[in-house]
């Protein structure tokens, strides 16, 4: 399992990116640093995501793998049927420090994030 931190890269409205906007996720990676759907099936309850967005309350949820191979973040918001943020090409993108990842936000915007850290975590 890895702890992966994504921070907002240069996007419209954020010309310098932002370390106060992003995601932290716990997920298994394979030997090519791609999300590992085989291991995910075994440890899916441990695959968590936290979306942090400036002064807003953090959104906490799960990393999910949908039919067809897509990945998404499903948030645990009581009393709401929250929309998921979806990883854009997460099935082919490596999670390596310095690389860029795109996420299709629930509101329909595609935002670009930089992988700022990938750390091993123990069970």
Report the chain (123 residues): mean pLDDT per 10 consecutive residues: 97 94 96 94 95 94 88 76 76 92 89 97 77
What's the confidence (pLDDT) of residue 41?
95
What's the confidence (pLDDT) of residue 122?
79
CB within 8 A of 75, min separation 6: which ones?
49, 51, 59, 60, 61, 82, 84
What's the confidence (pLDDT) of residue 123?
61
**Are 118 and 23 in contact, with CB atoms under 8 Å apart?**
no
What's the confidence (pLDDT) of residue 45?
94
Structural domain total, the chain? 1
Q: Which domain holds residue 35?
A: 2-120
pTM given for the model: 0.91
Q: Which residue in 85, 90, 82, 77 sits closest to 110, CA to CA?
A: 85
């Amino acid at each position: 399992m890895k702890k992966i931190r994504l921070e907002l890269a240069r996007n419209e409205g954020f010309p310098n990116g932002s370390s106060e906007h992003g995601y932290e996720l716990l997920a298994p990676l394979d030997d090519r640093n791609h999300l590992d759907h085989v291991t995910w099936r075994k440890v899916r309850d441990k695959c968590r995501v936290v979306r942090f967005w400036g002064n807003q309350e953090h959104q906490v949820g799960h990393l999910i793998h949908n039919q067809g191979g897509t990945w998404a973040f499903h948030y645990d918001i009581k009393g709401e049927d929250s929309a998921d943020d979806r990883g854009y090409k997460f099935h082919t993108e490596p999670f390596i420090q310095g690389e860029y990842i795109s996420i299709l936000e629930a509101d329909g915007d595609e935002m670009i994030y930089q992988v700022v850290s990938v750390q091993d975590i123990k069970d």
